[in-house]
Amino acid sequence: SPYEFESTQKNAVNKRFSFMEYLYSGDYIKVIKDFKDYYGFTHQEGEKFYFACAYFLPYEDGYTLYISKDKINIKAIYLQDRPETQREICYNLKKYFEIIEQGRFKR
């Protein structure tokens, strides 16, 4: 369903408007290295999207990154912060994501 990208509010304890102090809400991002998310979906080099926010699920060490290609429709990238899954991606974001344009949130 449509989602008003710019109207996100800080209203949940586990909701973050930055991810690992590298991606910030509103940043326009380009994938620079192919990777698979937790559910096995491949995100290919060249894919571009806006980063909206991230949710953290402590029980599973899981991150849900909410992204949008058009600032209307939202999709998710699921990452798990465990050595056997996507920890490499979580702690090496610069290897996987290039910030093309910074969003309005301050760093």
Read off the pLDDT of residues 41-66 as tens digits, 9 standing for 90 and up. Answer: 999 999 999 999 999 888 889 999 99
- Domain range annotation of the chain: 13-101
- The pLDDT-based confidence of 2 (bands split at 50, 70, 90) is very low
- The pLDDT-based confidence of 11 (bands split at 50, 70, 90) is very low
Give the residue with greater pLDDT, 101 vs 17.
Answer: 101
pLDDT at position 5: 53
Q: Specify the DSSP element, H or E, that contains 89.
A: helix 87-90
Phi then psi dihedrals of residue 19, to 5 deg: -130, 115
Predicted TM-score (pTM) of the model is 0.83
d(C-alpha 70, C-alpha 47), whole Å: 13
**13-101 sits in which CATH class?**
mainly beta
Whose structure tokens read 């304890």?
Answer: 13
